[in-house]
Structure 1
Amino acid sequence: MRNWLTRIAIPITIAATATLAGVAGPAAAAPSTPNPTDPFSLQDVFGNDCPGFNVTAQLTGKSKEISHGNEGVISISPGMTITLTANGKTVKYLITGTTHAQTLPDGSKEVVSVGENLLIVPAVDGQHAEGLFYTTGNVNYALTPTGGEGRLFSGPGQVVDVCALLAP
């Protein structure tokens, strides 16, 4: 279950990314893991995925993680799609991007997501509401050693506010 969650979530699902632990040593690829094929609710530790409503998701495809030295992990998902449904509306995205997570000496993580990714962003009091964002291109962000948001995603990539598309 960690692999599909990591695929859609590593790019800022703080709890999921906090569980990524790179293995020091030579590169090692985990076998591809099938994702859940039945629809499921995007339930995360942050509450609603979109302000005021939850989203149902269905994944198609496989994903895997490649651990490499220096506490790093690369998550890949060739051909993966996700269908998101809420309030009688549906959107479908190709999420084949790669995500590189590097653990820093202080325990925080520097994360770069390249290509097509779905980011689940938790609410941060006084800064922003929770949300789902489809990004293309290059975005980066940071996580604290405890898995909290160190820096909201930014970069030259393009962003689509999925919650706005699925809102009632």
Structure 2
Amino acid sequence: MKNRLIPAVLIAAFVASAGPVATASAAPPTDAGGSGTLSGFCSFDVGYTVTGKSKTITKPSGERIITSPGQKVTLSANGTTVSYVITGSRRETDVTVGGEVITEVQVKGRNILVNPIATSENPGLFLVVGNFNYALDANGVEVRTFNVDGPGQVTDICQVLS
């Protein structure tokens, strides 16, 4: 099953899952760099630049572990620029509930989660530090949103950039 880029450890695990699925843990991380504009997460467009590496490990069970060693993201909007080191990890496990495949996602460490305005109960861009979890359907739409009250620290990046 393909990786889902949503709330994700940012924008693809903030691009932490932007690389191809690796089936062997011996493969080195790949470049996850890129830049562009994010629309539909804040009430304004956000420019981004990502540098660093990403690696997806697929276990025999199908569980996916996405890491982002040395990854950094710079976000800018409304004359404000912020940079974050996002070296956390994401674990994705597919489960079937009532005949529907749901992806349970656990993020640990420093990650950026993205929640689209159109489909999220809690839209925005968030820097999270700690342990968080959420669930997505097969289309990447939230079935369960992450808990913005913790445990851990949550920074509302849209608010910082507004």
Same fold at TM > 0.5: yes
2:131 and 2:151 in contact (8 A); partners too: yes
Map of 1:131 onto structure 2? 124
1:121 paired residue among 103, 115, 124 = 115
Residue 32 (structure 2) pairs with residue 35 (structure 1):
yes
The two structures, once aligned, show a CA RMSD in angstroms of 3.2
Task: Give 1 or 2: higher strand fraction.
Answer: 2
Q: Which runs of 5+ in 2 are unaligned?
A: none
Cα deviation, 1:72-104, whole Å, max 9, x if unaligned, reads 100001111111001110111110000000001
Alpha carbons of 1:123 and 1:84: their partners in 2 closer, same or farther (altered >3 Å)? same
In structure 2, distance between residues paired with 1:10 and 1:163: 18
Cα deviation, 1:41-83, whole Å, max 9, x if unaligned, reads 12xxxx42212x1111111211110111222100001111111
Question: Structure 1 length normalisation: TM-score?
Answer: 0.76
Alpha carbons of 1:125 and 1:119: their partners in 2 closer, same or farther (altered >3 Å)? closer
Please state how far the C-alpha of 1:158 moved relative to its aligned partner.
Answer: 1.1
Q: Which runs of 5+ in 1 are unaligned?
A: none
- Larger relative contact order (Cα-Cα within 8 Å, sequence gap ≥ 6): 1
Map of 1:157 onto structure 2? 152
- Report sequence identity in percent: 39
| Count of residues in correspondence between the two structures | 152
Alpha carbons of 1:21 and 1:60: their partners in 2 closer, same or farther (altered >3 Å)? closer
Task: Give 1 or 2: higher helix fraction.
Answer: 1
In structure 1, distance between residues paired with 2:41 and 2:153: 20
